[in-house]
Every structure is written in structure tokens, then in C-alpha cells.
Amino acid sequence: MPELPEVEVTRQSFADQIANAQVLAVKLGKPLRWPFGVEPQTLVGQTVLGVRRRGKYLLADLSGGLLLLHLGMSGSLQFAQALPPAGKHDHFDLVTTLGTLRLHDPRRFGAAVWASGQDAPVAQKLLGGLGVEPLTDDFDALLFWQALRQRKASIKQVLLAGDVVVGVGNIYASEALFLARIRPTTQARLLSKPRALALHAAIREVLGRALEQGGSTLRNFSNAQGESGHFQLAAMVYDRAGQPCRVCHAKVAMLRQGQRSTFYCPVCQKR
DNA sequence: AAAAGCCCCTGGATGC
DNA sequence: TGCATCCAGGGGCTTT
């Protein structure tokens, strides 16, 4: 469900409220993507120092280690002083003195994993290969172009891979490529400098705008307070196969790349 | 090293 | 209404 903007909106919606809380209990439901890693008891008594985001991971710094959370495809977080009893899709509760943080995830592609520290093997494995954060100054246009020049795969798949730049999921990849007028199947290495720079700007534009809107185009997205996004961002191409391009009115096309759907305008995105 | 496939899981939409 | 099929916002792992 969540791409970078949704994860960041989620983070912002509870980070300040959970800061300085003490962990009272950890409750695990059905298995998520990976085992939690330690006895839940380990966290009891620890203090929540803050919540960061890296790519689509949320990182809760606790006094005794790092709690990694991922929303997968269908996950969402809720934070409230009191929550109803866990339902069939609630698989992780962090009960604290200031409220309970709950991970709800029907498909269970999400994760809650304990890493004793920043350099713990689990954290290394999950975070070590991640690309640059697109909304920070680290996302340098020229370096982006240079990284793309090394890659023979299609630009869409390079964006999704997350080892060059993080946070661009299946929706925003199509949207950013549309904005930059680049055909998703184009080999990344073939992008000229100006076109790579246009894509760099498009990624920032698309993600930044979605973030400002509080969570974008996603159908079911809501933050940890249960507030939904503003739904003001109509997708230009995503999920619009066969419908007229909003710019040129040609029919939006769909194709599969790596078992994921890609949408583009064959006229606006010629190569 | 990089790319391509596979797979984890459930629910909703669609078609017969 | 019932059942089968397909599809979904992610990404690590294994195989080429």
C-alpha cells in the first residue's frame, strides 16, 4: 500500500506522540514477513527515543536497540491511547505508557523486527543496500544520472529496485516517468543527461507533492491517527489503462515489468 | 555485479 | 449465491 509519502505521513502522524514513552508490553499476532527476533519481553521497560524513516522502513529508536517496521503492501499503523482488542489482521502491538502502536496488515508482507543496534546483522541486511533518500540533498541529480548509466535494466525496474533511490514504488514510478516523458522500458543507461535530470526532478515533484497532500492517490491509505489522505492527486497514468492521457488524450497503455503493472502514455513517453 | 523470476499472504473484483 | 481466477501499493532470496 504505502510508498515513501505514505510511510512518511504515517511516521509524522505519531512520532511526536510516542516519543519518550516507556514500553509496557509487546504483543505479537500471526507471523509477519520475518520473526520478531527476540522475546517480546526484551523491550519492556525501554524508552522510545524517536521514530525515523529510511526508504519505506520505519525505525523506532529504543533505549536498548532498534525496532524496524515495514508496512509491506497492505500494512498500516495506528497509534492511540486505547485501541480495541486486536483483530484478525492486527499482528503487532507496541503497548506504551503513552499509547499503543498497532500494525494492521492483512497480507502480512509487512514486518516488525527487533535489531539490537544500528549495525546488527538484521538491520544491515535490510537497510544496508538501500539507495539515496529522494527528498534530501543527498539525492544529487548528476550522481543520479551517473548511477543510471551503470544499469542495463529498464528505468522502471531500476527505480523500483531501490538501490539507486529509495521510496519510489509502483505507482510513483509510473507517475514520475510520465512527468519526465520517459518510456518505462527504456534502458536506464541510455538516458541522456538532460533526461536523467528531468527524471530526478520528476521524482522529487511527485513524491513531494504526495507528501504535502498527506498521503496521495492511494485508495485506502490513512495515517496512524486514522485520517485519510486528501485524495487530491489524480494519477496521470497509474491504473488508467485504456483511458485518455490527461495531456494528449491518447490511450494510456499498460504492460508488465517484473510481474508488476506499468502504465504510460505511448505518445507523451516516446522513448 | 547485475538482472530476472519466485514467492510470501489475504481480500476484493470479475466472470461463469 | 457459489466458485474459480486474477490482481494488488513490496522486496528479499535464489537462480541465471
Q: What is the pLDDT of residues A201-218, one digit of tens each?
A: 999 999 999 999 886 655
Nearest to A263 by CA among A245, A26, A81, A249: A245
Residue A2 appears among annotated catalytic residues = yes
Q: Quick one: average pLDDT of A79-105?
A: 97
Q: What is the pLDDT of residues A4-62, one digit of tens each?
A: 999 999 999 999 999 999 999 999 999 999 999 999 999 999 999 999 999 999 999 99
Judge if pTM exceeds 0.75: yes
pLDDT band at residue A231 using 50, 70 and 90 as cut-offs: very low
d(CA A114, CA A43): 9
Confidence at residue A215, expressed as pLDDT on a 0 to 100 scale? 67
Q: How far is the CA of A237 from the C1' of C1 (A)?
A: 36
- Give ∠ CA A158-A167-A263 in degrees, rounded to 5: 60
Whether residue A164 has pLDDT greater than 50: yes
Per the structure, the residues numbered 90 to 149 in protein chain A that have their CB within 7 angstroms of any atom of strand B are 106-109
With beta carbons less than 8 A apart as the criterion, state whether A20 and A47 touch.
yes
Whether residue A167 has pLDDT greater than 70: yes
Percentage of chain A modeled with pLDDT above 90: 90
Could you say which of A27, A209, A246, A260 is catalytic? A260
Helix axes A141-149, A193-212, angle to 10 degrees: 120
Amino acid identity of A253? A
